[in-house]
Chain A
Amino acid sequence: MLIDNFGKLIVEIISIFILILFFDYTFGWLERKSIAKAQFRHGPTYVGKFGILQNLADIVKLLAKENIIPKNADKLIFSAVPPLLLALFIFLIYLLPFSNSLGIELSVGLLAVFVLLSFAPLLIFLAGAASGNKFSLIGAQRSVIMSLAYEVPLILSVAAVALYAGSFNIANIVNSQARIPFIVLMPIGFVVFFIAMLAELERPPFDLREADSELIAGWLVDVGAPYYAIALFVDYTRMFLGSLLISLLFLGGWLGPYLPGLVWLLIKAFAVAIVIVIIRATTVRMRLDRLMRFGWFWLLPLAVLNIILTFMLFVK
């Protein structure tokens, strides 16, 4: 049986990896272009048509440079963490179904994704603490403290989804949205999940870990150019994961008329990503203590309310 499925497995692995690369690259370009649009700039125009090759040129440039590891850094941890983070996020994307035919169906998919996702702040903490720079250390500390603020509401809002669908299987969750997507059924849960996801994705207004204007680049202050390329890759892959999760759990995933499922999923993921970019263009960064207050005084009660409402209205 394993031999029978082996060919299909290889094809799936390769095609999902191509999907990741496609999203990362297109989103990287789209983000630069749309941010530039919001700021009366042109964005990349020179390399390729509409600057579409700019990111490729940047990656080539970054990878061609020398990798410098600071003298004070813990060499092993410092050089292991960025690739590990990348591997973690790519692995997490492999745990998601992309349509009824593409991607794996895990009966505990939802649990697995969110359990593994909570490793990311820890890895970031390790990277920041190991680099031996005080700015990185502050970024690393913020990473851990931040996760206290948003992890609980995140899990609670996901719990409501699982409660309604009666399953931890993401494919089942998507298919139970066939009539009405969950964004309509539980708008409060969607808002909480979206905001917590913004924090998870390190997107403004919650980009405290790498706060450009205070910490220069947070946990990335001391990384060399090749690792910075990896960090960019991590950032975009994480974005893919985030927008996929939002569209799978709340926007009906691959369900949609006329077009094939995968195309619908990508359209939804890109739409979510663009909304996140627009938020980035307009808002000021939050402060750590305010984020904690926001997480515990607003997000958590709302998430609990959402669970109670879901339980009372929909679950018999």
Chain B
Amino acid sequence: MLTRINVGPIHPSTHGVLRLVVTLDGDTIVDVEPHIGFLHRGVEKLAENRMYMQSESYMEKLDYAAPMAYSDLYVAAVEEAMGIHIKERAKYVRVILLEFQRIASHLLWLSAFCNDLGQMFTMFTWAMKDRDLILNLLQDVTGSRMFYVNMRLGGVSIDLPQNFEEHANKLLDYLEKRFKEYERFLEKNPVFIERTKDVGILKREDAIALGVTGPVLRASGVNFDVRKDYPYYVYEKLHFIPQVQTKGDSFARYKVRMQEMKESIKLIRDALKLMPEGDALGMPIKLISPPVKEKEVIVRRELPRGEGMIFMVTDKQRPYRLAIRAPSFINLSALRYIARGARFADLFSILGSLDPVMADVDR
């Protein structure tokens, strides 16, 4: 006999306002039907009615776990459209801040994932505490904790403060130590291994067919990272290895993110060493009315959740049409395929391992 259960939109572990209609046969999941759209704000339409740089703060709200990555994506699209040259130091500053943002986002994911597995709030508070240190650092740079709005055309709005390098290195050393502790804490726990290994397997072919990106794709054995394959800013000068796992289960996705945080630490260290002196400030928002060069632009960036893409048809002062490829949305669509046949208890850990942000899904 099949049972249908409605999970969410108010449920403690649906990562926001996701509604799932689950069909169960005993304890086994027959089908999961995600219902989305509770957080739809029409950001793409809103951007059509605003001048180019007014939309930046809207873009940040798309992914509240990693806002800076999205504002960078949008600003990069505008820069591409206007043919603006980015200052050399600004490229490094952006890479450093974005990688910090990536670590912060993955830490938030880790905390939520352990909650989904039923380890109520221990790992949550540990990871959140470390994330907070990163937020403090970003606050030192940009002046705000959550929505930074720090990217400007051709550069950033505020350059790194004077003692940033020292602070950043100290924080990176600390984080490196903490990540080792996390790995020991989680991977030596047989119950954690049991709950994540061989759970929610996404095969390589399916991953490619479904179009998932980011850590989810790399956990399925596809070596694709926009930072490596279509390098932007200074990523080609910096040394890092895209993290790939072959298994495609929850544990592989955990492992990819864990290793990625370590790679980000390496990246930041490299970038701090190579960063040139000079000016990193971009154009002030008010002074922008440069002619638009391109008619249509498309940019891609590796966001913490996967590949973000913006397709923009330009007009004189504002975009004529803007389309966003949200990584969470496409990653979430894989849930239906990988949750089939799993146990009901594993549904939320599988969902958590995909790392959806509902604001990003619904746009």
Q: Please name all residues of chain B whose beta carbon is closer than 8 Å to the beta carbon of A28 when the two chains form the complex.
A: none
Say whether B12 contacts A213, CB under 8 Å: yes
Contact pick for A281, options B116, B117, B122, B346, CB 8 Å:
B122
Say whether A211 contacts B11, CB under 8 Å: no
Contact with A along B295-330 (1 / 0, CB 8 A): 000000000000000000000000000000000000
In angstroms, how far is the closest chain B Cβ from the Cβ of A315?
A: 34
Which of chain B's residues has its CB closest to A290's CB? B194
Complex alpha-carbon distance, A280 and B121, angstroms:
10
Q: Please name all residues of chain B whose beta carbon is closer than 8 Å to the beta carbon of A211 when the two chains form the complex.
A: 118, 345
Binds B, one of A35-43, A58-66, A72-80, A232-240: A35-43
Say whether A284 contacts B344, CB under 8 Å: no
User: Which residues of B from 225 to 264 have beta carbons under 8 Å from A?
Assistant: none
Q: Please name all residues of chain B whose beta carbon is closer than 8 Å to the beta carbon of A204 when the two chains form the complex.
A: 118-120
Say whether A282 contacts B122, CB under 8 Å: yes
B contact face: mostly helix, strand, loop, or mixed: helix
Q: Please name all residues of chain B whose beta carbon is closer than 8 Å to the beta carbon of A282 when the two chains form the complex.
A: 119, 122, 185, 189
Query: How many interface residues does B have (CB within 8 Å)?
Result: 31
Contact pick for A214, options B125, B189, B344, CB 8 Å:
B344
Contact pick for B348, options A38, A208, A214, A284, CB 8 Å:
A214
Q: Please name all residues of chain A whose beta carbon is closer than 8 Å to the beta carbon of B344 when the two chains form the complex.
A: 138, 214
- B105 interfacial by beta-carbon distance below 8 Å: no
User: Which residues of B from 1 to 50 have beta carbons under 8 Å from A?
Assistant: 3, 5, 11-13, 27
Which of chain A's residues has its CB closest to B191's CB? A284
User: Can you list 21 pairs linking A and B with CB atoms under 8 Å apart?
Assistant: A38-B122, A39-B121, A39-B124, A40-B126, A205-B118, A207-B118, A208-B345, A212-B120, A213-B116, A213-B117, A213-B118, A214-B347, A282-B119, A282-B189, A283-B119, A284-B119, A284-B189, A284-B195, A285-B119, A287-B345, A290-B195
- Which B residues are closer than 8 A to A by beta carbons? 3, 5, 11-13, 27, 114-122, 124-126, 129, 185, 189, 191-192, 194-195, 343-348
- Which A residues are closer than 8 A to B by beta carbons? 35, 38-41, 134-135, 138, 204-205, 207-208, 211-214, 216, 280-290
- Not counting A216-B12, A287-B346, a sample of 14 additional A-B residue pairs whose C-beta atoms are within 8 angstroms of each other reads A38-B122, A134-B3, A138-B5, A212-B118, A280-B120, A282-B122, A282-B185, A283-B119, A283-B191, A284-B119, A284-B189, A287-B343, A288-B343, A289-B27
